Amino acid sequence: MAIYLTDECINCDVCEPECPNEAIYMGEEIYEINPDLCTECVGHYDEPQCVEVCPVDCIPKDPDHEETEEQLMTKYKKLTGEG
């Protein structure tokens, strides 16, 4: 399952550079996460790096984009050219 940013985001800019897949971008009002690029850092790190650095805890799992660990790993391999 991908993750997303809620409207509690304070635009502090710490999450965007932490994303190894460049899935985080500035939306119209707050940062957003592209679910097609988000692997929850599977393949890169043990935990999503944006969640680790977020000071306001506004990055939950996205119920509209449920994915298994295996699906996230497949996406990681596709994005990195390993699969």
> At residue 1, does pLDDT exceed 90?
no
In the chain, the amino acid numbered 76 is Y
CA angle (9 as vertex; 53, 76 as ends), nearest 5: 55
Nearest in space to 78 (alpha carbons), one of 39, 32, 30: 39
pLDDT tens-digit readout, 28-75:
999 999 999 999 999 999 999 999 999 999 999 999 989 999 999 999
- 82 phi and psi angles, rounded to 5 deg: -95, 0
pLDDT of residue 2: 83
> At residue 20, does pLDDT exceed 80?
yes
Beta strand 24-26 with 31-33 is antiparallel
Tell me the pTM. Answer: 0.91
Domains of the chain: 16-80 (3.30.70.20)
